[in-house]
Each structure stands twice: as C-alpha cells, then as structure tokens.
A and B are shown apart, each in its own frame.
Chain A
Amino acid sequence: MPPEFDKRLRVGPALLGAAFMSLASCAFDISRVTRTPTTFQAQAASEDRAWTLTQDESIGVGSGFPTRLRQGTHWQLAGHIPEGDVYRTSDQIITVEASNIFEAMVVLQGDKLAGFYLPVEHSFVVATDKVVLPIQWRKQQ
C-alpha cells in the first residue's frame, strides 16, 4: 500500500471525528450566561421612579442572543440589588436567552444599563456593554 494512501486512511476518520464533535457542540449546551447570586430588596412601585424608553435598544450578555428593549415601553422601579436599581415593565416580556431562557428585569446604575436581574434564580447577569439608555423620566430626577 502506498504510504500516501495509508496516511489518508488515518486522516479520514480523524476528520470525521472532528466534524462529529463540531456538530455535537452545536447541538448541545454551548451558549451560557454567567449568573451571580444577589439579594433583591423589593420596593413598592412609584411614578417618582418611572421612565419610558424612547428608542429600541439591544443589550448583549455574551450569549449571542441579545435582549431587545422596545421603544415606548414604560418601566417602574421594582426594587434594589447591590448591582443597581431593578426596573420592570408590563409592556413586553423581558428574558435573558442562552441555551436556556430566564425571565428578567433590567438593572440600572444611574441611567446606564448594568445588566439583568433574574427573579427566579435570584441572580444578576452583567451586560457586555454598559450603555446609557435613552429614557425619559416621568418626573424630573
């Protein structure tokens, strides 16, 4: 048997194996978000700490599935975590998505979006970019 042919015989299964592993990694849990346990302190909703988003925003968390916040949605303070103030809306569903999906609320530090609070997991997910949200406060801050 020529040596080139023998080499090809060995490389073929290796390539096949690599392709198999590559496909397998696509099919399984490869998209994750880093969650940090945190402590939530609820606060009664108040129009003093409410705002409206004036433009669509897309917020990444490093999973490849950004969370879209819709223009015109109205947000109210829900409480606090050490990472910032937690706001919720009833105008749209907010989730953080990776291989699994988590319902979420947004966390602001001032008017910058710091990340998301996951109420079921009691944890915080940091945003990849801390963008200043285009918001209009209901009452002057």
Chain B
Amino acid sequence: MTRSRLHLAAVPNLLLALLGLVLLAGCATSGQTYSQLQTNLSPPAEGQGRIFIYRTIVLGAAVQPSVKVNDTVVGSAVPRGFFYIDRPAGDYTISTATEVTRTLSLTLTPGQVRYVRLNIGMGFFVGHVWPELVDDSEGQKDIADCHLVKS
C-alpha cells in the first residue's frame, strides 16, 4: 500500500520531467552558434546574396512552422535557432504559416546579407509566427547566441 502510494506520488514529477524534456527537445541546442560559425563562413558566391533567418524567442516552443522562400520550404522556426540561404540577386517572399500565413517581401542584391527575425505572437488557436526584416546591426546582435539548424 505504502509502496504504491509512493509510486503515485512520483507520477506528477515524472510528468513534469517529461514535459521539460519535450520542451528542451524543441529548442535548438546542438549546432554551432552564429558567433562560432561566423569566422568560418565564406561569403556568398558571385551574383548571390545571403539571407539569415532566425528565431530568438523560446516562448511557444511547440510552434515551429516551416519557413518558405518563394513557396519552397527552406527550414523551420526553431527557437534560438538560425539557418541561412544563398540566393541569386532578386525579389523574395518569405512566409510562415500556422493558422494564418504571414509574409515578408524583400529584395536581395549581389553580396548583400539580410537578417530576418521570426517573431511569435498570440493567435486564436495557435501562436502566429511572422518574419520581420531587421537592420544588419540588430540582426547580428540577435543572432549571436542562436544555434545553426538544418535548412
């Protein structure tokens, strides 16, 4: 009797631990940080530009929608994670979709580096993730401790 009570008492703690594990698994903690990677990064090829896409916010970690560039999936909105893509100079639309689709349109010139932050806000059933173009200085500061995730 006492033994089974002990087992029952441990259930909430186990559930909490499991929940914590699931939440942590949702965060990007394995890849190199931007600061570590920055020095080894080669510039984009001639005629191309680079777009860094990152998410600093851990809140709503379970919401990790795909990120599309011109309707092609290039990665996911992983908390504290970033990835980058090199693309020919031109016009691009970056979008994320949960219960709504949010888009950002931007231009890319040869050799240009752009920073797109994925913000998260309240939704009706699910949080909304929206891409925002930020100044280079702000982007570099934001992204410094984010980890590289697969794109």
Q: Which of B73-111 contact A (CB under 8 A)?
A: 91-93, 99-100, 102-107
Q: Which of A105-141 contact B (CB under 8 A)?
A: 118-121
Q: Which of B119-140 contact A (CB under 8 A)?
A: 122-124, 128, 130-135
| Pair A103/B105 contact, Cβ less than 8 Å | yes
Asked, given contacts A27-B100, A100-B104, whether A119 binds B91 with beta carbons under 8 Å apart, the answer is yes
| Pair A101/B131 contact, Cβ less than 8 Å | yes
The residue in chain B whose Cβ has the minimal distance to the Cβ of A104 is B105
Contact of A27 among B93, B105, B123, B132 (CB under 8 A): B123
CA A26 to CA B123, docked complex, whole Å: 8
Total interface residues on A, CB under 8 Å, equals: 18
**In the complex, A23 has a CB within 8 A of chain B:** yes
**Closest CB of chain B to A103's CB: distance in Å?**
4
Contacts of B104 in A (CB 8 A): 95, 100-103
| Pair B124/A24 contact, Cβ less than 8 Å | yes
The residue in chain B whose Cβ has the minimal distance to the Cβ of A119 is B107
**Closest CB of chain A to B133's CB: distance in Å?**
5
Asked, given contacts A92-B135, A119-B91, whether A101 binds B105 with beta carbons under 8 Å apart, the answer is yes
**In the complex, A6 has a CB within 8 A of chain B:** no
**Closest CB of chain B to A56's CB: distance in Å?**
15
**Closest CB of chain B to A55's CB: distance in Å?**
19
**In the complex, A34 has a CB within 8 A of chain B:** no
Contacts of A121 in B (CB 8 A): 105
| Pair A27/B133 contact, Cβ less than 8 Å | no
Give me the interface of A with B, judged by CB distance under 8 Å.
Answer: 23-24, 26-29, 92-93, 95, 99-103, 118-121
Give me the interface of B with A, judged by CB distance under 8 Å.
Answer: 91-93, 99-100, 102-107, 122-124, 128, 130-135
A-B contacts, 17 of them at CB < 8 A, read A27-B99, A27-B100, A28-B99, A28-B100, A29-B100, A95-B132, A99-B100, A101-B102, A101-B130, A101-B131, A101-B133, A102-B104, A103-B104, A119-B91, A120-B92, A120-B105, A120-B107
